[in-house]
Amino acid sequence: MYRAPYTQSISRQNKACFIFLLDQSFSMEEPLGNSSNRKCDELVAAINGWLQNMAIRASGDEGIKDWMDIGVFGYRTDQQANPIIESALQGPLAGRMLVSISEIGGAPARIDTRMQYLPDEETGEIFQIPCEMPIWVDPRAEGGTPMCHMLYLAHQILAGWIGQHPRSFPPIVVHISDGESQDGNPIPYADALKSLATEDGNVLLFNCHLSMTAADPFMFPSSEHGLPDELARALFHMSSVLPEPFFRHGQSEGFPLQPNARGMAFNADMVCLIQFLNMGTQAAPGLR
């Protein structure tokens, strides 16, 4: 019986897979647009927040449901310009390529305390409370941007995962970077990654470009027209067209999406980054 692509429900039997590819090059030291914090700090804050939300969402009476595998990778170069591509997870999960959400939930590297600002509806004031923030990933910013090596490793990892989960919702790769590839043209590597497929559809590759300028962001463009430069156009070609469930989810969230909108953000600030992460990962069946 025919079933539309990207509709496989996520369950213990048909797990999901999310992979985050994080640019850890030196330029991630720069401040993120519209923020006084470094790009690398804002990036790991968003990723740690996402991991925490997913662990909470997967938790139930029987503990954390084992319904997704997650990989968080960083890429940079050493002083001799050799690529360093490795898991960015810290603590007990350090060095692990793919980790189940139950392992994520149970093994943060540490717990930090952050101040949270909440509204008091009785007095119209904002008050602060300390809250515990589990940390799995720490910021890093050194060396260059070996993007092709990163995409190649992602291909290898996902080819193996798909072999074990042929009926699952296809893996979603979220790539977050602030600059151009320094080890070649990444488009063929991105195409190879996107050509991988489960029975439910091709691997989805979403790209988010972080900017230190406070320029207007481009989110989910549907054509190259209007994109500001060659880097933006390269990311556009690397990015998957949003499948129907993602498109509908984006519209319901108020994004003015055009047909053939791609999973791409350019000149993103912190707000865009979080919106992008949510948009790119919450439309899969069973995750909303």
Residues near other proteins (CB under 8 A): 33-36, 117-127, 129, 214-219, 252-256, 269-271, 275
CB 42, min distance to other proteins, A: 9
Degrees to nearest 5, angle at CA 10 with 99 and 202:
85
If the CB atoms of residues 61 and 122 are measured against other proteins, the closer one turns out to be: 122
If the CB atoms of residues 31 and 91 are measured against other proteins, the closer one turns out to be: 31
DSSP structural state of residue 215: P
CB 132, min distance to other proteins, A: 12
Q: What are phi and psi of 281, to 5 degrees?
A: -130, -5
If the CB atoms of residues 149 and 249 are measured against other proteins, the closer one turns out to be: 249
Strands (E), the chain: 16-23, 59-60, 63-64, 68-77, 83-87, 99-100, 110-120, 125-135, 172-177, 197-198, 201-202, 204-210, 218-219, 264-268
CB 261, min distance to other proteins, A: 13
CB 249, min distance to other proteins, A: 11
Half-sphere exposure of 91 (CA within 13 A, CB side): 15
CB 228, min distance to other proteins, A: 13
If the CB atoms of residues 2 and 117 are measured against other proteins, the closer one turns out to be: 117
What tokens appear for 254 in the block?
């108020």
If the CB atoms of residues 95 and 256 are measured against other proteins, the closer one turns out to be: 256
If the CB atoms of residues 198 and 239 are measured against other proteins, the closer one turns out to be: 239
Ramachandran bin of 3, using left for φ above 0, alpha for ψ from -120 to 50, beta for the remaining angles: beta
CB 129, min distance to other proteins, A: 5
Question: Is there a contact between 148 and 186 (Cβ–Cβ < 8 Å)?
Answer: yes
